[in-house]
Structure 1
């Protein structure tokens, strides 16, 4: 793979302009409707009463900030190594592409986090008999394996969402898993093939993207990552490892002493216990260590990316950067502690269970109404009328059931936690409209 091709937006691009095409990508994501919804979507601790606990929006902004730092720092060295890029691109372009892709990385996540993905997938697994249409194998795997990454790619390319029209480098950097849902798993040990990144409905869009950027092909409909996707993944890994730990400490799920010890392992020789004690506030102590940990991980990730640049461009390197850096063992310990003390905390499990039931209830009401348009019952007709007008119009004009279900899932997965709960209560008769 060649950097000049990988960074080609397909549009006129001038270095050091006041607003480049990559600036435009960032702005379009910030002002998009799907991105704004992230303010009411679960990160780990759902619907928190505490103002210091993260939701999907604050997480995405932080990942974008880390991504920008990673991209700019890497870009500065890449430009030195490849002088032929200098007339066309700046380190800021690398930073903007990585920041934009990082900003959008969770845009396809449904309500209630990963339990929402599981709930959507499980509905189709357990209700196959209700779906009379014979879907293609690829379409069926899409439905029974709902994937936030693929949903995000769909939203970023869907004209109904204000026509984002992002550049190809940003879309490619966003796609951490450049493959469809159903493959032979020949390349599964590769990190880029662990999940999938686009639905059958967007397969031609990604194929065209991969051809234009000359992404290295592994097999039919399977490609190596765009190199900057490694930095987007690293930015996400750094933030959720380090910041989820801070949230866990602030909520009392992990002791202050244990949190300090975990951060100290990441920081290494720069950790100064005596200096830390001069800070009176324990929350400020943790905030300082969190910042130092992020800084250390950015430095290590940049160094490792640059050391493996040739292997990344050739498609040989296919490991998560944070699984291969100096602090990998410290990060693994943080992950293990977080699983047992944060992600399996009682209130997290309770809301996951509730979210599972909410999404299953929505699908039980809406899917039959969508797939039985020609013989719709009165109950199904009432449910269908509850859908927004634009969603109903789109479903009615769909050529087949797979496309209609994709439109429905765009709506359901796009609901915020609060919207999903409110709609579920109305459908179940738990909440009735007030009479005026």
Structure 2
């Protein structure tokens, strides 16, 4: 496809990938079969192919309308289309740049700007988000139903294991998960302790940058990435083996550091190494000897059966977040691992489709998000599971707000057992 990038973009290094991405697309339409918004709305402009057409026109210098911006806004950035695409089109990188330009060319109204600004001030900051969440939990019974769904119930915090193993891995607390689901990282530390690995928490690290990046505050996101790299790099140099990811949304962002900072001469190499060091914990466990862990889980189940013979063995529905299966390319890894540990997993369908959480999408596109959520819950509960597990805090909170069964991080299953 002939593509002539307008001079205003051709002169900026960050737009260098645009032409190649646009030309890689052959407009075959395979992506439309797996795009959640196209399947829901049936509008070509709400498909990856349609959005690519609009972005091509935009990057060639044609006028940008609010309609174009709205269609780009409705994209979940689930990257399902990338998994489907036979031509390897890097749609996620293209739409990130397209959204930024569309917002500049077709400015939002002041109320929309304020909402997005507020989200960027609260969500990525633990010191603000944590107290606000506690306040929301305190007054949760009084909150309107639409808001109550976004406020998780408080949980009793587990004790953090004290370990001094030779093998050390790193944990970045992030923002929302540290407050909304603190036991996830503690469960990770407990599981790794069973494998003689210490999990070192880098408390001074901040948000991975995903919130700002996807809300078009790219420079702020880059500064957050640089901050985290500055704290992680000395630890990797000192021998830490990996950065343990327990929230796939954050993992997908950290694995993009190398790409995001490719043009920064001071950070390009470090960012690339940090991206390579970031591993989802399911990927780490898959490479370890889990025989002792499997034996302990088996004994725990036997003890439970003896103590309460009438109790049924829990059936687990596994939700694989888009960031884990499409961005990090780890589809079905959690289900495979749980199966290998003797945990009964339920039958589900349409596992490739998004639940509608997608970072701030559930707040900015509530109608579409709720439609996707309703369908996802039907697909996850068709086999009548006792619990739903996932690998990303955003999905966990989104699903847990309306699900009829408990929703937790899959690591908590191992600790509960």
TM-score (structure 2 length as normaliser): 0.25
> Which of the two has greater strand per residue?
2
> Which of the two has greater helix per residue?
1
